[in-house]
Amino acid sequence: MIVSTRPKTTRSFQYVAMVLYMLFLAFPLLWMLSISFKGPRELVELHPHLIPADPTFQNYRDAFTQNGLLHAAWNSFKVSTLTALLTTFVALPAAYVLARQRGVISKLGLGWILVSQMFPLILVIIPLFLVLKNVHLIDSHAGLVFVYMVWTLPFVLWMMQSYVRGIPRDLEEAAMVDGASRLQVLRTVIAPLLMPGITVCALFAFIQAWNEFFLALVLLQSPDLMTLPLRLAQFVGVEGIVRLGPLAASALLATLPSLLLFVVIQRWLTRGLLAGAVKG
């Protein structure tokens, strides 16, 4: 009896390729972690090593004490959370209309989504600044949240309407036969089944706002209102000299919340997808 070893060889090759790909993706994070523990003398070596020879926590102490990292992180968290909540709240009914209505409104909405993604940000920043200045929203978190919501809404709408299209119409028709209105159908039928999609869209809006730099640089002026990316930029001196150690430590701390949030929501998202499959 001859047993083919080709499936085992193929699976082993797939595992090796997956491990190498994961290492390739994680290498920048590992290198940043290595730099964050290196001292000034080790950072200027001609042949750097991944593992620090003399680890130090001074870079983390400098990151917390010299640049107001915690206050900037709180500002970013507040702005990102409000952006995610408001964007998903606005996108849910709009996505339901786009997915269920067959007519001019749906076509115009989808066309606006596609066209809005074609314009570069630098093209609209001056008119946007003038509009916000006229309504007194410059140098405020409210104005920044409004801009983030408008900027992320088209892509969130596009994602969410595709989730709505995956929900059978029979469930809505059954609820309407029982006397439910469109709003009640959206709240009691569509929204619970759409929770995995809502979670993905909220996570996307949160990460977009958390990592955004250019709009915050233009719209915020007060040091107390600066978000985390703006604080990270201050580790680069006027002469272009970069404080590499504190910058790596701060950047690593700024990356951790997004990674942890993604890990937690990913587990919840998997449970939600499986529950939705059982209900269907």
pLDDT tens for each residue of 104-148: 777 777 777 777 777 777 888 888 888 888 988 898 999 999 999
Mean pLDDT over residues 159-169, rounded?
83
Residue 234 has pLDDT above 90, yes or no: no
Give the other-Cβ count within 10 Å of 213's Cβ: 13
User: With 0-12 CB in 10 A as exposed, 13-18 as middle and 19+ as buried, what is 254?
Assistant: buried
Tell me which residue of 276, 147, 152 sits closest to 216, measured CA to CA. 147
- The backbone region for 54, taken as left when phi is positive above 0, alpha when psi lies in -120 to 50, beta otherwise, is beta
Residue 263 has pLDDT above 80, yes or no: no
Please tell me the distance from the alpha carbon of residue 273 to that of residue 280, in angstroms, as a whole number: 11
- The backbone region for 136, taken as left when phi is positive above 0, alpha when psi lies in -120 to 50, beta otherwise, is left
Indicate yes or no: pTM above 0.85.
no
- Amino acid identity for residue 168 in this structure: P
Q: Where are the alpha helices (DSSP H) in 101-233?
A: 104-116, 121-134, 141-165, 169-177, 182-185, 191-193, 195-211, 214-219, 228-233
Confidence class for position 19, pLDDT limits 50, 70, 90:
confident
Q: Report the pLDDT value the prediction gives residue 240, as an integer from 0 to 100.
A: 63
Q: What is the residue whose two structure tokens read 């892509």?
A: 155
* The architecture CATH gives domain 68-279: Orthogonal Bundle (1.10)
Say how far residue 262 (Cα) sits from the centre of its chain. 9
Q: How far apart are the first and last CA of the chain?
A: 45
Confidence class for position 27, pLDDT limits 50, 70, 90:
confident
User: With 0-12 CB in 10 A as exposed, 13-18 as middle and 19+ as buried, what is 2?
Assistant: exposed
User: How does the average pLDDT of the chain come out, rounded?
Assistant: 81
Domain ranges (residues) in the chain: 1-56, 68-279
